[in-house]
């Protein structure tokens, strides 16, 4: 499968499903997402892999000559063909630089000198890894370094949960005229402080401007189920299709597949009712 300039090549992996994922909940799992710092941040597709013991993830520059399921590649000329490796030992993740010329950085600290292999470094959830450094200011994507944030064993975040279902139901009530008219009429008709507090508790606020989420507003609902006014979150969409929730810091691919049957939603909803 061909990849665009500056994007990651992750064979057999998507942001919504992972064919390589083991059925065992104990298998170490890694999710690699872009680390968004500026408008020039390199945005690539979300990469998810199960990494049991004796599995080595090789990270490097994309080439048509090498195609391996455990190889993660990027179309960036500042990334070496064999740049770094990630693996697990007893459930813990480790990384090392494999003699790259432009360097591997863990939380802004370079792991080894140029063309020298580093010792293993243990990874922790939320660590930021950078491959190489920008060339000529990174004005072109092909010369930008790759900055990624590692999410370790967070598979639970991608599952349906009561919070996401409640948000979905609240949004349906808000955007269905008979429902939202009834809610607003009831709130206005009841002037007691107790009733007002009850209604206020049921109204969600935009976490950016702190004003209420209300009917007839342009809204943005992130995959993590947090809801904002579109006007408020518009500056956060400059790295489209990458989106980093300002509330929970969860990364999402806004162009991920939305092919979900209504029957699947109903079944998942019944599980949590």
The structural domains of the chain, ordered by start, are: 8-158 (2.60.200.20), 162-272 (3.30.40.10)
Summarised one tens digit per residue, pLDDT across range 146-201 is 999 999 998 655 555 555 666 666 666 655 544 444 554 555 555 545 445 554 55
Q: How many CB atoms lie within 10 A of CB 239?
A: 19
Structural contact between residues 60 and 86, judged by C-beta atoms closer than 8 angstroms: no
Determine what percent of the chain is predicted with pLDDT higher than 90.
33
**Higher pLDDT among residues 187 and 113, named by residue:** 113
Instruction: State mean pLDDT over 90-116.
Output: 95
Q: Give the predicted TM-score (pTM) of the model.
A: 0.63
Structural contact between residues 44 and 253, judged by C-beta atoms closer than 8 angstroms? no
User: In whole numbers, what is the pLDDT of the chain averaged over residues?
Assistant: 78
pLDDT for the residue numbered 156? 54
Angle, alpha carbons 135-137-142 (nearest 5°): 55
With a cut of 90, say whether residue 119 has pLDDT above it.
Answer: yes
Alpha-carbon distance of 35 to 150, in angstroms, equals 9
Peptide bond into 134 cis (omega under 30): no
Higher-pLDDT residue of 240 and 181 is: 240
* Cβ-contact 140, 123 below 8 angstroms: no
Q: Cα separations (Å) of 190 from 4, 68, 176, 199?
A: 57, 65, 22, 10
pLDDT in tens, 6-35: 444 443 333 334 444 444 458 899 999 999
Mean pLDDT, residues 131-154: 88
What percentage of residues in the chain have a pLDDT greater than 70? Answer: 67
């Amino acid at each position: 499968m061909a990849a665009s300039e500056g994007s990651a090549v992750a064979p057999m992996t998507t942001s919504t499903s992972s064919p390589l994922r083991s059925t065992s909940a104990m298998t170490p799992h890694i999710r690699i997402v872009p680390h968004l710092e500026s408008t020039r941040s390199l945005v690539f597709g979300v990469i998810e892999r199960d990494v049991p013991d004796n599995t080595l993830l090789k990270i490097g520059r994309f080439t048509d000559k090498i195609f391996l399921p455990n190889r993660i590649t990027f179309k960036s000329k500042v990334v070496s063909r064999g740049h770094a490796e990630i693996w697990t030992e007893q459930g813990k993740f480790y990384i090392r630089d494999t003699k790259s010329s432009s360097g591997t950085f863990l939380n802004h600290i370079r792991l080894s000198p140029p063309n020298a292999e580093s010792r293993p470094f243990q990874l922790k959830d939320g660590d930021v890894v950078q491959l190489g450094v920008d060339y000529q200011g990174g004005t072109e994507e092909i010369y930008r370094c790759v900055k990624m944030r590692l999410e370790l064993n967070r598979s639970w975040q991608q599952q349906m949960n009561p919070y996401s279902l409640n948000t979905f139901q609240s949004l349906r009530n808000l955007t269905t005229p008979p429902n939202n008219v009834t809610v607003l009429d009831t709130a206005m008709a009841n002037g007691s402080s107790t009733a007002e507090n009850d209604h206020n508790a049921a109204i969600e606020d935009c976490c950016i401007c702190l004003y209420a989420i209300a009917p007839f507003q342009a809204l943005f609902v992130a995959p993590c189920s947090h809801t904002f006014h579109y006007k408020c979150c518009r500056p956060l969409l400059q790295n489209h299709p990458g989106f980093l929730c300002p509330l929970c810091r969860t990364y999402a691919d806004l162009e991920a597949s939305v092919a979900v049957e209504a029957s699947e939603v109903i079944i998942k909803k019944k599980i949590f009712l």
